[in-house]
Amino acid sequence: MSLLDETRLILKKHAIKPNKRLGQNFTIDKDVLLREITYADIKKSDKILEIGPGVGTLTELLAKHAGTVYAVEADARMVDILRERAWKNVKIIKGDVLKVKLPEFNKVVSNIPYSISSPLTFRLLACDFKMAIITYQKEFAQRMVAKPGGKNYSRLSVATYYHADAEILETLTPEAFFPPPEVDSAVVKLTPKKRKPFKVNESLFFDLLRGLFSHKKKTLKKALFFTLSDVFDIEGKEKRKEILDTFDENLAKRRVFTLSPRELAEICNELEGKL
């Protein structure tokens, strides 16, 4: 029986349909799931975190390879299905992954709801783990790995670079899922950095990124002029101009989307002493 037929049978048995609001698009290509297991290099000593397991197609494979699987599911209907399947080494956690207390884990393997991609990723990156294999919307994944000067380069690119090494392992067409999403997908490997690439006031840095990348095609000088007001509440034009005039003229003329993460960190460190 194909995974598509198996998934449909399970849903029919429980008289339920995938919830579009929750981003339920179940992976039905077993080869994709097996490659995810291979990418994660799962061993019996591993404690795996899976987010949004749905009917459990990936969960079943994880259970065969890992020591423990923590499956976090927000949909009570799916929780009932998962509990009925009764894997001995799978611990089901009912709730919103952005709110529940997460257990200790060393790897993440998940095909996540795309609507929570950003907050989930940064919640995970605040945890201590070895590696994550996560399927994202392709566009989101491209922004994660984008380099300075590229059209996809964004504050997500910089934030990801600060926390982890990110690599797109493969892209997937909608046919790999049921129901098929309206977008392509990408399997991404995230490896948290043991040491951050530069020293920076993190709170200030991420606030600065939020402001600057709202005006990513403007020069640093113009983008920072707006950011000082919109993000840092410096309303006086003269005060803002006074701060801007202290920056290197050549740097101030650069477009925001051309600035490397390290250059942005240097700007942040320089700005910190002026606010």
* CA 223/CA 240 separation, integer angstroms: 11
Please say which residue of 157, 172, 192 terminates a domain.
Answer: 192
Give residue-wise pLDDT tens across range 82-115: 999 989 999 999 999 999 999 999 999 999 999 9
Look at residue 197 and tell me if it is in a domain: no
Please say which residue of 143, 174, 192 terminates a domain.
Answer: 192
Look at residue 99 and tell me if it is in a domain: yes
Same-domain check for residues 34 and 168:
yes
Same-domain check for residues 66 and 129:
yes
Same-domain check for residues 237 and 163:
no
Please say which residue of 192, 222, 249 terminates a domain.
Answer: 192
Same-domain check for residues 63 and 124:
yes
Q: Report the percentage of the chain scoring pLDDT > 90.
A: 92
Give the CATH number for residue 182. Answer: 3.40.50.150
Look at residue 125 and tell me if it is in a domain: yes
- Mean per-residue pLDDT over the chain, rounded: 96
CA-wise closest residue to 107 among 174, 145, 60, 51:
51
Same-domain check for residues 130 and 208:
no
Q: Which domain holds residue 85?
A: 3-192
254 in helix, strand or coil?
Answer: coil
Same-domain check for residues 241 and 167:
no
Q: Compute the average pLDDT of residues 162-186.
A: 97
Q: Compute the average pLDDT of residues 230-236.
A: 89
Same-domain check for residues 186 and 211:
no
Give the CATH number for residue 235. Answer: 1.10.8.100
Look at residue 175 and tell me if it is in a domain: yes
Same-domain check for residues 111 and 231:
no
Look at residue 55 and tell me if it is in a domain: yes
Same-domain check for residues 54 and 151:
yes
Instruction: Decide the pairing of beta strands 177-178 and 131-137.
Output: unpaired
44 in helix, strand or coil?
Answer: coil
CA-wise closest residue to 94 among 122, 132, 53, 128:
53
Q: What share of the chain is helix, strand, coil (3-state, %, to 5)?
A: 45, 20, 35
Contact 187, 169 (CB under 8 A): yes
Same-domain check for residues 121 and 239:
no
Give residue-wise pLDDT tens across range 22-70: 889 999 999 999 999 999 999 999 999 999 999 999 999 999 999 999 9
Look at residue 127 and tell me if it is in a domain: yes
| Amino acid type, 77 | R
Contact 244, 252 (CB under 8 A): yes
Give residue-wise pLDDT tens across range 244-274: 998 899 999 999 999 999 999 999 999 998 8
- Whether the upstream peptide bond of residue 119 has omega within 30° of 0, thus cis, is no
Q: How many domains does the chain have?
A: 2
